[in-house]
Structure 1
Amino acid sequence: MIGYTVPALLSVPVVIAIELGVLRTGLFRRPAYWISMAIVLGFQIPVDGWLTKLSAPIVIYDPAHNSGLRWPWDIPVEDFLFGFSLVTLVLLLWERQRRKAREDARA
């Protein structure tokens, strides 16, 4: 369970802490962010479901390295945690770079 579950569980609070404590972009207050996350989820579920379905998996997870919780369509719940963390961190860094570019343009 440590191999995939623990890093997935840790990634979410780490990304949230980076936003709230370091970057402070205000991304979590924007409807556009939550809409983008819904779009990501809308694509992640069918694709990840197809890749990880237990009846004919393309991607096989070692059961010793994850929680065994799967929802929906046999998707390991850890995939959603990592998906949130990866997409959110990219958007946070993108927003930070955009803000820095604006500040440099003003100077």
Structure 2
Amino acid sequence: MMPWGYTVPAVAAVLVVVAAELLVLRTGLFRQSAYWITMAITVAFQVPVDGWLTKLSAPIVQYAPEAITGWRFPWDIPVEDFLFGYALVTAVLLLWKRDESGKDSA
């Protein structure tokens, strides 16, 4: 059974952001190496911070078990956190890129 509380919104957020780029905004962000480097840097910082916040031995942030898949990687990070992080950072960059391209044509 797929958890609705956190997993479905996390997957939906990724799908909406990717669809927005591919079907509406068309900024070309996904073709830029700077974007993928940015995502790698984001994950590099997310792993130690999120790992510390969600470690099962002494969690600062707790999730209702029925709200997540229970898949945790690396350490004790729920995979849903990576989905939301990806969607959030990508959405911000897409909007920034859209605004940047709008200024060039004005």
Q: TM-score, normalised by structure 2?
A: 0.96
Please name the residue that 1:72 is paired with.
74
The C-alpha deviation readout for 1:44-86, integer Å capped at 9, x for no partner, is 0000000000000000111111111111110000000011000
Please name the residue that 2:47 is paired with.
45
Cα distance in 2, alignment partners of residues 82 and 71 from structure 1: 15
Cα distance in 2, alignment partners of residues 53 and 31 from structure 1: 32
Equivalent of 2:86, from 43, 66, 84? 84
Percent sequence identity over matched residues?
65
Which has the higher mean CA deviation after the structures are superposed, 3-12 or 32-41? Answer: 3-12
Please name the residue that 1:96 is paired with.
98
- The answer for unaligned runs of 5 or more in structure 2 is none
1:35 aligns with 2:37: yes
CA-CA distance at 1:101 after TM superposition: 1.3
Q: Runs ≥4 in structure 1, deviation > 3 angstroms? A: none
Cα distance in 2, alignment partners of residues 3 and 22 from structure 1: 28
CA RMSD of aligned residues (A): 0.6
The C-alpha deviation readout for 1:15-49, integer Å capped at 9, x for no partner, is 11100100000000000000000000000000000
Cα distance in 2, alignment partners of residues 33 and 55 from structure 1: 34
Question: What SS is found at the alignment partner of 1:74?
Answer: coil
Q: TM-score, normalised by structure 1?
A: 0.95
Count of matched residue pairs: 104
Equivalent of 1:54, from 37, 53, 56? 56
